[in-house]
Each structure stands twice: as C-alpha cells, then as structure tokens.
Amino acid sequence: MTVTLAGLAAMALVAAGCGDTVDATAAGDGIEITGVWARTSPAQASNGATYLQITSESADRLVSASVSSDVAAVVEIHETVAMDDSAMDDDEAMEDDAMEDDAMEDDAMEDDAMEDEHAMTMREVAGGLVLPAGETITLEPGGLHLMMLDLVSPLVPDTSFELELTFEVGEPRTVTVEVLEDAP
Amino acid sequence: MTRSIAALLALLVVATACGGKAEPFVGYARNPTPNVADVALPAVEADGSETEFAFRAQDDGILLVYFGYISCPDVCPTTLADVRRAVGALGDAGERTDLAMITIDTEVDTPEILTGYVRSFIPDAVAVRSVDDDRLRAAADAFGADYGKEEVDGEAKVFHTGSLYAVDPIGDLVLTWPFGTSSDDIRGDLERLLEEA
C-alpha cells in the first residue's frame, strides 16, 4: 500500500510537470542527488540501468554504487558512447573513414546520415565518475548510467529499491530508486 | 508572439492527431532510398520454430526495425520503450505499425528470451534471429546498420547501431531515427507516414 501511494504520488508529480522525484535528497555534505529512477526491465533482461543527477559543491568523485544482493549482483558506472574510429578495429576504422569521405562529397543530408549511424557501445567509467565542484552531472539514457548486472528479478513499475553511492570525499549516500516505464 | 501562437496551434494540431503536413520529418530520409524488400531473415517463436520474415510493412502500414540485444541495459530498452509509447499514442493507427527486433547477439538471445523480451514492449512484435552471421550481416548492411563484438581487456564488448528504421509496404526504408529521438517525435513522424501510406 505504501509503495502504491508513493507510486501514485510520483506519478502525480510527473503529471504536474514537476521534474524532481519524491526521493530528491538535499545533502548535508554538499552533494545533491535528484531525479533518481530506473527503467522497468522485461523478465528476460539480465541487466538494468539507474539514472540520476549529482551535484557536488566541492570537487569529488563517485567511486562506486551498489544495491542489495536481492536486487542485482553488481552495479557499474557505465557510459554509452558512439564508436569512434579509434575504438574500432583497423579494418572497420578504415572502412568507416572511406565511407565518411564518400559521404562528404555528397550532399549534407547523407553526411549527417553517416554521422548518425556510428555504432554505439558501452564502457565502464574507469576510476569513477569525476564530479567537478558545483557542476551537475546527469546520468541519462544514451549516456552515463549505473548499470545493474544480473538482476535477481525484473524491475517492475512503481516499485523502488535502495542504491548506495560511495564518494571519494563525501559520505556514502543511500537513495531510493523509483522504477518507471519511461523517463520522469 | 505570432510565432508562439503558431507553435501552440501546431501543438494543438499534433495533439488532436491531425498531423502537420508542412513540418519536415524528425527522422531522416536517405538519398537514394534504400529498398530492403529482398532482405529476409528467420522470425522465431519461443519454441524455436522459424519462418522466413521479409522486411516489408503490412498493406497501408509501417514496419519498424531495430537491431539490438537483450543484455543491453541502456539504449535498447530506451528506444523500445519509446516505440511502445509512440505506437500506443497512435491509438487505432498503431494497429498498422509493426515492430521487428533483430538480435545481434544470437549466442545469448535464445528464441525464448528474444520473443519474450521484444513482446514485453510490443505484444505482437516479430523476433528476428539469424544464427547465420553472413545473412545477418547482409541484412544489417541493407539497413546501413553495424554491429559486432570486440575484445577490450579480455571483455567482450558489444557494439551496434542504435537507429530505428521505418519500412513501408514495398520495402522502402523511408525514415531513420537516430538514437535519442523522442517518442513524441517518432509518433509524429509515424502519424504522417501512416497518413501517406
């Protein structure tokens, strides 16, 4: 019942166009974490992703994140990136260069098209996520995210789970992650 | 001021599902238009049975095509959730829209989990799985999509083109939406494509 009410409240806030989720936390030590949500995961999906915004008053680093072992085995800080030439193997890179050159000689539309069709991949953010002083770092679909590996059970709408964040300087923080079908 | 009113009117028109013919598509068309009518791959059911699936939309419809994989936690569910939302917002016209998801990770994505996964987004979606990589590669090439796995520090890293494609009944690839196109923009483009179909 509590969960349902919280879910309804969250939906009401979203419907009212209020960007903050109910679990937005103002920090005691200058780290503010807002907009925490995870997308629902189909039963067949072994991995999930949590998104949020972090603002640290002073320079810090998000070192790691974790969830209870009854949610997922591991949480990694990941980033979805477009494959650039250096990330591809040599053959692919050469082929890609050739295609780009051809495209440039054609009209602008085609050039855009080639740009858009760079393949995407994910990489772990090595050494943690740098939080420059006063800057809001946004984890959002298609960019930075907290990847949850080996989900124990599917993430279903309007439930929530706890996520612990560990910082290099700031105190560890536990936030509530709302599971939503679509971005808030 | 005039512009604001015009924008509001445009929004109203879109909101009432009347379409706005003068607006350009958000997705892009390629020149020349690729035709994928001759591309066919196995569509699978949960029990592993296969039928050949040709990449053409139903009459008066649009076929959405996506290359992805199930352990992809970020871009795949984002785009598929956007498709669910866009198609849902089309109302009855959504019936004329189909989705085919082609797995690029056949080792992990068995027929059972692939069908369950994609149909959790669109209930009657087509699950496409080719264990013959030559055929899969040829199909991806026809769409201008890329995919693969590469070893980085001993870890297999999957990469794939994150675009969503719209194919018409004659197999013309009429529109491509790069990853990150909003569900609203996809819905708007689909409305127009379906009007013209």
C-alpha span between B13 and B29 (Å, rounded): 24
- Assembly ipTM: 0.84
- Residue B111 clears pLDDT 90, i.e. is over it: yes
- A127 and A170 housed in the same domain: yes
The reply to whether A164 and A99 lie within a common domain is: no
Range of the domain at A71: 2-81+120-180
Residue of A nearest to B118 (CA): A42
State the smallest CA–CA distance between residue B13 and chain A in angstroms: 21
Q: Are residues A77 and A139 in the same domain?
A: yes
CA distance B61 to chain A (A): 24
* Facing residue for A119 by CB, picked from B29, B72, B161: B161
For chain B, which residues make up each domain, given as ranges?
Answer: 26-196
Q: What is the pLDDT of residue A28?
A: 54
Confirm or reject contact between B141 and chain A (CB < 8 A). no
The pair of three-digit structure tokens given for residue B54, joined into one six-digit string: 């040709």
Tens digits of residue pLDDT in B118-146:
999 999 999 999 999 999 999 999 999 99
Judge if A143 and A101 occupy the same domain. Answer: no
Give the pTM.
0.80
On whether the CB atoms of residues A81 and A142 are closer than 8 A, the answer is: no
Nearest by CB to residue B71, choosing from A46, A83, A142, is A46
Q: What is the CATH number of the domain that holds A52?
A: 2.60.40.1890
Residues A106 and A161 in one domain: no
| Whole-number pLDDT of residue A95 | 41
State residue A18's pLDDT score.
Answer: 40
Query: Each residue of B3-36: pLDDT tens digit?
Result: 454 454 444 444 444 444 557 899 999 999 999 9
* Structural tokens at position A138: 């946004």
Output the pLDDT for position B154: 76
Mean pLDDT per 10-residue segment, chain A (184 residues): 44 40 52 97 96 97 97 97 59 40 40 59 93 97 97 96 97 97 92
What's the gap in Å between the CA of A166 and the closest CA on chain B? 22
pLDDT in tens, B184-194: 999 999 999 99
Residues of A with CB under 8 A from a CB of B: 39-49, 78, 80, 83, 87-89, 92, 107, 109-110, 112-113, 116-123, 141-142, 145, 147-148, 181-182
Predicted pLDDT at B18: 45
**Residue in chain A lying closest to B148 (CA):** A119
Residue A117 has what pLDDT? 65
Quick one: pLDDT at residue B100?
98
Q: Do A119 and B159 touch (CB under 8 A)?
A: yes
Which residue, B88, B83, B87, B74, is CA-closest to B101?
B83
Task: Please name the residues between 22 and 41 in chain B that touch chain A, using a CB distance below 8 Å.
Answer: 28-31
Task: Looking at the structure, tell me whether residues A60 and A111 fall in a common domain.
Answer: no
Please state, in angstroms and rounded to a whole number, the distance separating the CA atoms of residues A134 and A21: 21
Alpha-carbon span B188 to B169, nearest angstrom: 19
Would you call A142 and B78 a contact, using CB atoms and an 8 Å cutoff? yes
CA atoms within 13 A on the CB side of A78: 26
pLDDT, position B134:
97
Task: Give residue B20's pLDDT.
Answer: 45
Q: Closest chain A residue to B177 measured between Cα atoms?
A: A116
Looking at 3.40.50.720, 3.90.1710.10, 2.60.40.10, 3.40.30.10, the CATH number of the domain B26-196 comes to: 3.40.30.10
The answer on A38 and A60 residing in a single domain is yes
For residue B52, give both structure tokens: 């050949």
* Whether residue A42 has a cis bond before it, omega within 30° of 0: no
**Which chain B residue shows the shortest CA-CA distance from A147?**
B73
Are A119 and B159 contacting, i.e. CB atoms less than 8 angstroms apart?
Answer: yes
By DSSP bridging, strand A60-67 and strand A48-56 are: unpaired
Decide if B74 contacts A141 (C-beta within 8 A): yes
Number of domains in chain A: 2
**Interchain CB distance below 8 Å, A109 and B31:** yes
Whether residues A110 and A129 fall in one domain:
no
For chain A, count helices (H), then strands (E). Answer: 3, 10
Note the pLDDT of residue B84: 97
Does A105 share its domain with A28? no
Do residue A58 and residue A77 come from a single domain? yes
| A146/A75 same-domain check | yes
| Interface contact flag, B70 A107, Cβ < 8 Å | no
The answer to whether residues B173 and B166 touch, using CB atoms and an 8 Å cutoff, is: yes
Please check whether residues A91 and A8 belong to one and the same domain: no
Q: Which of A70-79, A97-106, B69-78, B154-163 has the lowest mean pLDDT?
A: A97-106
Of B70, B146, B176, the CB nearest to A45: B70
Give A160's strand partners.
A178
Under the banding of pLDDT at 50, 70 and 90, the label for residue B46 is very high
